Amino acid sequence: MGLYLKPGTLPEALSALANLELTGPCAGAGRLTVLAGGTDFYPGEAARAAWLEPRRRNILDISAIDELRGIRWEAGGVRFGALATWSDIREAELPAAFDGLRQAAREVGGLQVQNRGTIAGNLCNASPAADGVPPLLTLDAQVEIASLAGRRRVPLAKLIVGNRKTALAPDELVTAVVVAAPGAGARSAFLKLGARTYLVISIASVAVLVNVGADGRIAQVAIALGACSAVPARMPGLERELLGTSAGDAVQRVTAAQVDGVASPIDDVRGTARYRCAAALVLVRRALAACLGSVHEAAA
Cα(170)–Cα(159) distance, integer angstroms: 14
Longest dimension (CA), the chain: 67
Residues 6+ apart with CB under 8 A from 155: 140, 141, 142, 143
Task: Give the torsion through C-alpha atoms of 108, 112, 118, 122, to 10 deg.
Answer: -40
Closest by Cα among 240, 247, 178 to 211? 247
**Distances, alpha carbon 221 to alpha carbons 18, 129, 199, 213, 297, in Å:** 41, 22, 30, 11, 18
CATH number of the domain located at residue range(s) 187-299 in this protein: 3.30.390.50
The answer to whether 64 and 176 are in contact (CB under 8 A) is: no
The answer to whether 82 and 174 are in contact (CB under 8 A) is: yes
pLDDT at 29: 59
63-85 pLDDT, tens per residue? 999 999 999 999 889 999 999 99
| pLDDT tops 80 at residue 53 | no
Q: How many residues does this entry show for the chain? A: 300
pLDDT at 25: 52
pLDDT at 295: 58
Cα(155)–Cα(159) distance, integer angstroms: 7
Residues 6+ apart with CB under 8 A from 190: 99, 100, 101, 103, 104, 107, 131, 134, 135, 205, 206, 207, 208, 287
| pLDDT tops 50 at residue 92 | yes
**Distances, alpha carbon 59 to alpha carbons 34, 56, 67, 284, in Å:** 6, 10, 20, 39
| pLDDT tops 60 at residue 299 | no
Residues 6+ apart with CB under 8 A from 259: 225, 228, 235, 277, 280, 281, 284
The answer to whether 24 and 30 are in contact (CB under 8 A) is: no
Per the prediction, the chain carries an average pLDDT of: 92
The answer to whether 153 and 167 are in contact (CB under 8 A) is: no
The answer to whether 257 and 243 are in contact (CB under 8 A) is: no
Neighbours of 44 (CB within 10 A): 13
CATH fold for domain 66-180? 3.30.465
For residue 81, the cross-strand partners are 176
Query: 40-49, 204-213, 253-262: which has the minimum mean pLDDT?
Result: 40-49
The answer to whether 283 and 204 are in contact (CB under 8 A) is: yes
Closest by Cα among 200, 208, 163 to 182? 208
| pLDDT tops 60 at residue 50 | yes
* Local confidence band at 200 (pLDDT 50, 70, 90 cut-offs): confident
